[in-house]
Chain A
Amino acid sequence: MSLIAVVSGIRDTGVYRRHPSPLAWLVLMPLLAWLFLFVIAPTLMLVVVSFAERDALGRIVYDFTFQNYIRAFDWLWLKVLFSSLWYALLTTLICLFVGYPVAYFIGRAPLQWRGLLLMLVMVPFWTSFLIRTYAWITILSKDGLLNSLLVSAGIFSHSAEILYTPFAIVLGLVYNFLPFMILPIYTSVEKLDNALIEAAYDLGAGPIRAFSQIIIPLTRPGIAAGAMLVFVPSIAMFAITTLMGGGTNPTIGEVIFKQFTSGRNQPFGAALGSILLLIFVLALWITRKYREED
């Protein structure tokens, strides 16, 4: 249960400790059942399978072994993991630098505009991300929209290679996950107390100082949540990276996917998945710590 406590942020401070009434348990039941069925049980299965073996057809054989973990720490897979972490980090940073000003602008915009602006951020979600990724392929390909425009405008002499490059991977990831950065920061910005900013100016702070010492710390929970929401899914994302990167840079998500399919090696995939899960839990735990210190 300590895992859930960490993840959900329930702190065992003792102050609120009270025995829930049977009615409370009844109300909580659907949530607990959901958590058990779709979070705890699958996680346990993943961990159990990661210590198993498999036969020639890929069926799981329940013989206890550490082999999958030993193999997972081979430099090859670590390299793939690090490269995925690097892409995820880069994506998070770009999303932060692009998303923060947007979120700030929306959060400080006149009230009647905010709804519309937020809506514009969310509109892309109405279409499946796969379809939007295919749209990017049409735009970025060599004979695609962007290249034809740039060439006919005389900016480029011939079509540039944009699609199937690392640049395209990062573009795809940033495009897809940007709203996950904007929305949490927006909620923090919206709650900003104007009086504090004015006080900073009154006490002689310039715009830079007001921003770095007042606005940033006050919106930190939004930044942390946004960073988490972008970082975690972009590590494991494989559809965008293979479609826009051409599959030349294997990502950890793609490697795990292949273990469950063509590799016929679910236990090894499960071991890689468990390691990834551990990284996520650690990342969440660190953010949680960081937020507690504020």
Chain B
Amino acid sequence: MKKTTTLLLSALTAFLVGCGKAPEAKKLSVFCWSEYIPQSVIDQFSKETGIQVSVENYASNEEMLAKLTAGGGQYDIIQPSEYVVEALIAQKLLHPIDKTKIPNLSNIAPQFLKMGFDPDNSFSVPFMAGTVGIVVNTDLIKDDIKSFADVFKPENKGKIVVLDDAREITAWALLSQGLPINDVSDANLEKVKPVLANWLPMVKVFDSDSPKTALLNGDVAIGVVWGGEGAILLQSDPKFRWIIPAEGTHLFIDSLAIPKTAKNVDNAEAFMNFILRTDISKQISDAFPYTNPNLAARKILTEEQIRNKASFPSDEEMAKMQVFRDIGTQGSKVDELVTSLKAQ
């Protein structure tokens, strides 16, 4: 009897010790934006590495944050935007990255690395960047549109689509007043309030998911939309023109990061390296024409893709863009301001 117990105990110990040292399971759990990583890319990763990938999607950074901080799911890879990376680092919710395992990081253009939200790229690698700009249907609007101020003019009332995003809209108003987009102090919000009160009633459609629909259907003639949406419109019809606002605009950088609670860190790093590979990055650009920060991949894009102004703004235009920083609870005030002016 005693023998059996000892045997069982030692077997159990061996099992437990073994578990501790065992290599990671061949699994990876990805929590990413919907419509951002093509399924073909995920499939190819599984095929090449034998790692089984499960994907879950979200539609906004905040949705991801809510699920991540509630501890509902076990995720190995998340895809936060710049200001969320900053907040997650501050709250110590990200796992540091072993950059030696991500040699393809050298493919990324230096201008997208070592940015304020993650100064050493210790916690994040850029996935895709993009911008917000103006799309004009030149069949319907003949004026030369150059700036946000040109968009929100009385003659365009009822012909405008904008992103349904309080922080974005407020950022444009701040830019139009020459204020920095991240300084959303009460005083600055008070300053842009009359601007927004003037702008918002002119808007016909608020849509963040697919602002191109209203433009394609002819319901509106001008829009302030994501670069990726703009690029698709430019591809679809030459009547659409893309303009980076003279006041400057918002540059967003969506990254890949590993949450602190991740179980398969090695696999996550392998996935990051895979995504940054030249041919894979090109596949992503083909499906979602945002600003690809991957220089090596840009070299193998078609000339038409590179020439698309909405995907690839000029350096001059890039210089005028600003990235979002985390504004914490002030976000509620921004939201309230925009809602109150919509409901007026």
Residues of A near any B CB (own CB < 8 A):
54-59, 76, 79-80, 83, 137-138, 141-144, 159, 161, 163-164, 242, 246-250, 255, 258, 260-266, 268
Contact = CB atoms under 8 A, between A and B. Distances in A.
Contact of B343 (A79, A143, A242, A246): A79
B318 interface: no
B343 A250 contact: yes
Q: Is the interface of A mostly helix, strand, loop or mixed?
A: loop
A142 B339 CA distance: 27
Contacts of A248: 203-206, 342
Given A56-B326, A143-B218, A144-B217, A250 B335 contact: no
Most chain B Cβ neighbours within 10 Å, of A144, A164, A250: A164
A261 B204 contact: no
Contacts of A54: 329
B5 interface: no
Nearest to B213: A137
B204 A58 contact: no
A220 B166 CA distance: 45
* Cβ-closest 3 pairs across A and B: A247-B206, A56-B328, A141-B217
Contacts of A265: 332, 335
A3 to B, nearest CB: 27
A246 B331 contact: no
B204 A141 contact: no
13 contacts: A56-B87, A57-B88, A80-B339, A164-B204, A246-B203, A246-B204, A248-B204, A248-B205, A250-B342, A262-B165, A262-B167, A262-B335, A264-B62
Given A143-B217, A262-B331, 9 more contacts: A54-B329, A57-B65, A57-B88, A58-B69, A76-B340, A80-B339, A141-B217, A164-B204, A246-B205
B184 to A, nearest CB: 13
Given A57-B87, A76-B340, A143-B217, A263 B206 contact: no
Contacts of A57: 65, 69, 87-88, 91
B164 A247 contact: yes
B343 A247 contact: no
B335 A58 contact: no
B339 A58 contact: no
A90 B205 CA distance: 23
Contacts of B204: 164, 246, 248
Contacts of B335: 258, 262-263, 265
Contact of B66 (A137, A138, A260): A260
